[in-house]
Amino acid sequence: MNFKNISISSSKSIRTIYISRQKQLNALNAQTLEELSMCLGQFLEDKDVRGLIITGEGKKSFVAGADIKEFAKYSSNEGLKLSEKGHKTVFDVIYNYPKPIIAAINGYCLGGGLELALACHIRIGSSNALLGLPEVSLGLIPGYGGTQRLPALIGRGRALEMILNGKPITAEQAYEWGLLNHLVDQEDLLDKAQKLAESFSNNSLLAQSHAIAAVNRGLIDPSKGQEEEIKRFGACFQTSDFKEGVGAFLEKRRPDFNNL
Ligand code: DAK
């Protein structure tokens, strides 16, 4: 895969996607989103891939938002269409991805960058991370899921404080509020993300994909979450991974699960 604005590294069954526009602090332009979408599609099909890490290239920035120079001249209709497209092709794809995705946040994580991290299943931040939704300072509101996913994660009051004042919070504050699952020194960030991703890969990916879908369903529509869990719990019993997992336990050996 050859991309202009993203690059990829591989270790074991984990792929790390770097947003690579360092001169623009890795701001997301349309081409970067297009490339991310293609890359997510390819890794979805690739049976050797068990999990993804998304990070920013360099030490200074994860993603400093959507590319302001690009969206500066959008009309209301263009804004609406692009927001819809971004949700459908990148942000919702990540949120619902059936393989675990970890955001490794290495500096500025602003606007669309924080929304990218929020779409991921898990967030790890380095101590220099700054996380914020500065959209209102530009006369906008978050357009890639920030108004929905941030309150779901840290509560309405804290989310509205961040959205209304537009100021970034420190990594320590984000960790305390539950926006970051883990907080590490910058030099340990990718190692921590890799180890966490690898730890997931010992388990059944099929079961993990059902768990992600059940959790998401309940967050999107709380009245349907329990129903989704029951349906998916039942579906697990017909899978070869269930037979393998239980069989391995009874035979006192490590399970060898299928890939999706
Ligand atoms: N877009 C484009 N370029 C950016 C950028 C951004 N978001 N952030 C930084 N850059 C560029 C700077 O312009 C500068 O480039 P040159 O001017 O040198 O060519 C280069 O990166 C280095 O930046 P600075 O010189 O400013 O670096 P500093 O260390 O002094 O400051 C900073 C770092 C992160 C505090 C500062 O760069 C900054 O405030 N950046 C903007 C942060 C921000 O407001 N981000 C946007 C949030 S709003 C949409 C959906 C979603 C969105 C929009 C539309 N549609 C569906 C249409 C989302 C909007 C947002 O994300």
Residues 105-125: tens digit of each pLDDT: 999 999 999 999 999 999 999
Is residue 259's pLDDT more than 90? Answer: no
- Ligand 1 atom with minimal separation from the 82 CA: 56
CB of 145 sitting under 6 A from ligand 1: no
* Residue with CA at minimum distance from ligand 1 atom 50: 143
CB of 133 sitting under 6 A from ligand 1: no
CB of 135 sitting under 6 A from ligand 1: yes
> Greater confidence, 229 or 202?
229
The Cα 88–Cα 105 span in angstroms is: 23
If we measure between CA atoms, which residue out of 23, 101, 87 comes closest to residue 58? 23
Mean pLDDT of the chain, nearest integer: 97
Mutational pocket test of ligand 1: of 24, 61, 150, the residue with most ligand atoms within 8 Å of the beta carbon:
24
CB of 65 sitting under 6 A from ligand 1: yes
Ligand 1 centroid to residue 173 C-alpha, Å: 22
CB of 125 sitting under 6 A from ligand 1: no
pLDDT at 153: 97
Confidence of residue 220 (pLDDT cuts 50, 70, 90): very high
pLDDT digits (tens, 9 = 90+) for 80-93: 998 999 999 999 99
pLDDT at 258: 85
The Cα 53–Cα 41 span in angstroms is: 15
CB of 115 sitting under 6 A from ligand 1: no
CB of 112 sitting under 6 A from ligand 1: yes
State the catalytic residue, choosing from 34, 45, 84, 135.
135
pLDDT digits (tens, 9 = 90+) for 142-187: 999 999 999 999 999 999 999 999 999 999 999 999 999 999 999 9
If we measure between CA atoms, which residue out of 55, 123, 42, 111 comes closest to residue 83? 111
If we measure between CA atoms, which residue out of 134, 130, 133, 132 comes closest to residue 186? 130
Q: Is 115 a catalytic residue?
A: yes
* Residue with CA at minimum distance from ligand 1 atom 22: 24
CA 208 to chain centre: 15
Confidence of residue 231 (pLDDT cuts 50, 70, 90): very high
- Write the CA distances from 184 to 20, 105, 127, 142, 194, integer angstroms: 22, 10, 6, 27, 13
The Cα 110–Cα 66 span in angstroms is: 8
Mutational pocket test of ligand 1: of 25, 29, 34, 84, the residue with most ligand atoms within 8 Å of the beta carbon:
25
Say if residues 53 and 7 touch (Cβ distance below 8 Å): no
Ligand 1 centroid to residue 250 C-alpha, Å: 55
DSSP H helical ranges for the chain: 30-45, 68-71, 76-86, 92-95, 112-119, 146-154, 156-165, 171-176, 189-200, 205-220, 225-236, 240-250
Q: Is 135 a catalytic residue?
A: yes
pLDDT at 2: 86
CB proximity list for 222: less than 8 A, separation 6 or greater: none
CB of 248 sitting under 6 A from ligand 1: no
* Residue with CA at minimum distance from ligand 1 atom 38: 64
pLDDT at 260: 73
Ligand 1 centroid to residue 24 C-alpha, Å: 7
